[in-house]
Every structure is written in C-alpha cells, then in structure tokens.
Amino acid sequence: MIKIGMIGTGYVGLVTGVCLSDFGWNVTCADQNEAVITMLNEGRSTIYEPGLEDLLERNRYYKRISFTCDIDSVIKDSDVIFIAVGTPQQADGSADLSGVYETAVRIGQNMNGYKVIVNKSTVPVGTGQAVKAMIHRELLSRNLELEFDVVSNPEFLRQGSAIQDFTHADRVVIGAESHKAAELMKEVYRVLYLNETPFLTVNIETAELVKYASNAFLAAKISFVNELSELCEKTGANIQQVAKGMGMDGRIGSKFLHAGPGFGGSCFPKDTLALLKQGENNQCSLEIVRATIAANEKQKRRLAERIKDEVGSITGKCFCILGLSFKNNTDDMREAPSLSIMKELASEGAIFRVYDPKAMEKAAACFREHGMIIEKYCDSEYDAAEGADAVILFTEWNQFRSLDLNRMKTGMTGSFFFDFRNIYSDRMMTDMGFRYYSVGRG
Ligand code: UDX
C-alpha cells in the first residue's frame, strides 16, 4: 500500500489529499498552521467547496486521512510526497517559491529511503530541477546516497467543482525523469487510469509549462470575448450570440467564452502574470499573455466607468451588490472583480449594501483590509435591495436566476440594474421597469 504525504493543506493540498484518500490510499496531510490542522482534525473543512466536507468525513471515518503539524514525520513515513504549498505572487508578478524550497530542504533533511517528490503547486518552469538540486545538496551534507525522483504533476481543479474535476479529470499530466516514478504515479492515480482518463507522461519542464499554458490560454479566451463585448455594445451586436456562433466551430469550442466583469480568482490573474515574467526571464516577450492581462484590467475599468456614466454622480448613491466572490460556488474573494469595481465607486462616495450566499465573511475581511466601508452586510438579496439606487450583479450564483424581481424593485429607490453576468434578458428586465445594462449585448 503506497503511503502518501501531502505537505500544505490549502485549496490544492486539501482537495488532492481528500480525493486520493477516497481512492483508497492512506494519506497524511501536514501543515505548519496549527489552527487549520485542528479544524481539519475536527472534520471541518477550511474552505467552502461543494462535496468536500462529506468526502472528508467519510475518509476520516475509515481512517484513510489524517492531519498533523509534524511535517518531518510525514516525510519519513511517506513513499510519495506531494508539495502543495502556496506560491503567492510577489510585487514584480513572479511566484514566491520560498515555501516550495523550504519544503524541498526539509525533505532532504528527513529522507530515509526511495521517495517520489511530486510538485503539485503551480511553479515556474525550472522549479522541479531546483527542488531536485536542493534535495541532493541536503543528502550530500548528510553523507547519504538515497535514490529519489522529482515529478511535476500540475492540478487543473476549478474552485466550486474541484471534486468533480479531480474524479473526472480531462487528463493527468505527469512530468517525470524515470520510468519507475512515472509508473508509481500511475498507481497513485489508478482509479483514473482504470477509468481511461488520458495520461500524458512528459519531462518535468513540459509538465510545468502545460499548467501555465492552459491557464493563460483559457484566460485569453475570456479576455477575447470581454474585449469584443465592448464592440458589441457599440454596434448593436450580441456577445452571447457571437460566442455561441464561435463555439459551434469545433476548433474553438464553446467553453470559457462567457463575457463578464473580468476573470479573477487565485489562478488566472496570478498565472498569467507569472508566465509573462517567465518569458521576460528567458528573453522572450509573450505578447498575447500581456494583452490578456491588459484586456482584463480594461474590462473592470470599463464596467466601472459604465456605471458612472449611467448613474451620474456616485456620491451618496446606494448600491445593492449581488455576489462578491470571483465566481459562483466559491467563497473565495481573491482578485474578485467585485472588489476592484467597488473600490472605484467607493472612491467617489458610493454606499454599499452587500449580499453573497457564501463569501460574506471573506469579503468583510477583504473590505476591512482595503479600508472600505460597507453600510450593511445583508441576510438576503431583498434586504440588500432595500433603498438602493442601483443593483450590481457580480457573481452568477444560481439562486440569483430565480429572484423575485418585483420584490427587489419595490424595495429599491432607483431602478438601475447592472447584470455583469448576463443572466437576465434585456426585454424582461426593461418590461419590469428596470434601467437594465448587461455586458456586450448592444
Ligand atoms: C482555474 C482553472 O480553470 C483551473 O484549471 C486551474 O487549475 C485553476 O484556475 P478557477 O480559478 O477555480 O480555475 O475558476 P474558473 O472556473 O477557471 O474561472 C476563472 C475566472 O474566469 C472566474 O473569475 C470566472 O468568473 C471567469 N470566467 C470563466 C469568465 O469570466 N468567463 C468564462 O467563460 C469562464
């Protein structure tokens, strides 16, 4: 039975650890954050992710998953060690790898037999080799000649559907330098392998780049439609229908062509910037990646301007905010477009009544950090609409699709409705008496 160690219980580490334990493996997750480990040991998930807490409970019950702060013991006791620590963005846009490197040194200090060290964190190309060199150095200083392999195994999990994405992956990418390591990884993912999930075995550098290239490409698709949404507004075309027409071409595909307030989250903004930086560090300018980032910033700016143009003076105007998280089914506020657009309106004296089904707590912390004042954190959409001049819908939570819009309207003082996820129809909203604006629907 392969013993798996997971270093880092953030989003990626926790989801991967829980899912691998559900595949039947014995998984020990380690993190230096005691509060997080205590919570997980009590069976409480530290993040909101549909299905995660149930899986956690089931595998704790069968004693296939456990949590500890004792990282050194986990290294000693495991055959396969996943590094899933954070790689936060630095001021210059590059990824901060200190967590990955500290873990690598620690692995070298505690290694006691053949192990496969798997980089699960999203890391710039070349990091796998650096991890290998660090472990080598530690072993040398201990006068040990132990065999080990470093593998790059990027994750492609979307927040909000991470469990489904893990268990029904489009592909598993394994960057390995030995047949032995690649075979061991196939065994770890045996359940997916038996389900005929495609496996791509390549070298470490290629695997590292597949992750960045995929995320930057998806981000480019979104920026492309967001950019065209402006042209649609100016010409009377409809971006949803344009995207539909594009998506019918099998070479383009219909996914990730939804115009909106700009992409956010912990991956696309960070990974596009980090890829741009990797290009610079290797003397090649990645112009499409640069444009993707610029178009995303422009979309957020453009929509804030749009609100100002339509509403007129913002000072003292009350905004009902529907949805705060960067997308639906997550409580994550990282790089949420709501935050930058609201900040812009706040600088001109806007008042906010906010409602999000899951992200209220994280949003409150975010607003505090940015020195923003919120008039009321509301219990419902209707509470948020009370006395508002305008509604701004930032997140496509399903429950917003079945709102009692008459009730919303009755409570409001004004009638502006900015639907930045295009979930309503222009005709219906106008008929109801809203001054309705969506994205890219002329
Ligand atoms: C992403 C990748 O999809 C995943 O493979 C990777 O491993 C981690 O990063 P995630 O950030 O969780 O996942 O969310 P995703 O569903 O990809 O959405 C990212 C952003 O793009 C969100 O802000 C979303 O609202 C936006 N988006 C997505 C659009 O604006 N339009 C779309 O058509 C799709």
Residue 89, pLDDT > 90, answer no
> What is the pLDDT averaged over residues 262-273?
95
**pLDDT score for 436:** 98
Neighbour count for residue 399 (Cβ, 10 Å)? 12
Tens-place pLDDT, residues 242-251: 999 999 999 9
Q: What is the mean pLDDT of residues 333-340?
A: 97
300 Cβ below 6 A of ligand 1: no
CB 76 within 8 A of CB 184: no
Pocket test for ligand 1, best of 327, 338, 395, 420 (most atoms within 8 A of CB): 327
Confidence of residue 256 (pLDDT cuts 50, 70, 90): very high
Residue 316's contacts (CB-CB under 8 Å, 6 or more residues apart) are 349, 351
Angle (deg, nearest 10), helices 268-281 and 204-235:
120
Report whether pLDDT(442) > 80: no
Give the pLDDT score at 135.
Answer: 98
Inter-residue contact 139 to 146 (CB < 8 Å): yes
Of 35, 76, 441, whose CA–CA distance to 233 is shortest?
441
Q: Which of 211, 242, 267 to mutate to test the pocket of ligand 1 (most atoms within 8 A of CB)?
A: 267
Task: Encode pLDDT of 14-25 as tens digits.
Answer: 999 999 999 999
* Rounded average pLDDT over 290-299: 98
Ligand 1 center to residue 415 CA distance, Å? Answer: 31
Q: How confident is the model at residue 80 (pLDDT cuts 50, 70, 90)?
A: very high
The number of the ligand 1 atom at minimal distance from the alpha carbon of 336 is 23
Question: Which residue is listed with tokens 């006395």?
Answer: 387
Protein residue with least CA distance to atom 7, ligand 1: 156
Indicate the residue type of 81: I
Q: Please report the pLDDT score of residue 190 as a whole number.
A: 96
Six token digits for residue 303:
């929509």
Select from 172, 223, 256 the residue to mutate for testing ligand 1; criterion: most ligand atoms less than 8 Å from CB: 256
Decide whether any atom of ligand 1 lies within 6 Å of the 136 Cβ.
no
When pLDDT is averaged across residues 166-195 and rounded to a whole number, the result is: 96
CA nearest neighbour of 52 among 199, 216, 195, 163:
163
The pLDDT confidence band at residue 97, using thresholds 50, 70 and 90, is very high
Determine which residue's CA is closest to atom 25 belonging to ligand 1. 327
Question: CA distances (Å), 244 to each of 239, 254, 261, in order?
Answer: 8, 7, 19
Active-site choice (19, 29, 232, 267): 267
Q: How many C-beta atoms surround the C-beta of residue 301 within 10 A?
A: 14
Give the mean model confidence (pLDDT) for residues 44-52.
Answer: 91
Of all protein residues, the one whose alpha carbon is nearest to atom 22 of ligand 1 is 263
Domains of the chain: 3-202 (3.40.50.720), 300-438 (3.40.50.720)
| Rounded Cα distance, 109 and 253, in Å | 48
- Burial of 135: CB neighbours in 10 Å, binned 0-12, 13-18, 19+: buried
- Ligand 1: centre distance to CA 135 (Å): 34
Nearest atom, ligand 1, residue 222 CA: 31
Q: State in Å: Cα 49 to ligand 1 middle.
A: 15
Average pLDDT of the chain is: 96
Per-residue pLDDT band for 93 (boundaries 50, 70, 90) equals confident
What does 325-346 look like in DSSP terms, one character per residue? SSSTT----TT-HHHHHHHHHH
Q: Is 267 known to be catalytic?
A: yes
Cα of 373 vs centre of ligand 1, distance in Å, is 28
Q: Give percent of the chain above pLDDT 70.
A: 100
| pLDDT score of 430 | 97
267 CB within 6 A, ligand 1: yes
Please report which helix (H) or strand (E) contains residue 243, including its range. helix 239-247
Strands 199-202 and 376-377: unpaired
Question: Which of ligand 1's atoms lies nearest the C-alpha of 165?
Answer: 5
Ligand 1 pocket member 265 (CB < 6 A): yes
**Tokens 């061991």, residue located:** 184
139: three-class secondary structure by DSSP: helix
Q: What is the pLDDT of residue 48?
A: 87
Q: What residues does 391 pair with on adjacent strands?
A: 320, 417
Per the CB < 8 A criterion, the answer to whether 233 and 438 are in contact is no
Chain centroid to CA 233: how far? 29
Beta carbon of 158 within 6 Å of any ligand 1 atom: yes
Q: Please tell me the distance from the alpha carbon of residue 217 to that of residue 272, in angstroms, as a whole number.
A: 9
Q: What is the pTM of this model?
A: 0.94
Distance 219 CA to ligand 1 centre (A): 8
Compute the distance between CA of residue 10 and CA of residue 7 in angstroms, rounded to an integer. Answer: 9
State both tokens at 222: 């979104």
The β-bridge partners of 438 are 419
**CA 72/CA 244 separation, integer angstroms:** 52
Retrieve residue 219's tokens. Answer: 């981000």
3-state helix, strand, coil in the chain (%, to 5): 45, 15, 40
Question: For residue 24, what is the DSSP state?
Answer: T
pLDDT digits (tens, 9 = 90+) for 360-404: 999 999 999 999 999 999 999 999 999 999 999 999 999 999 999
Task: Give CA angle at 327 (324, 332), nearest 5°.
Answer: 65
Distance CA 306, CA 288 (A): 26
Radius of gyration of the chain (CA): 24
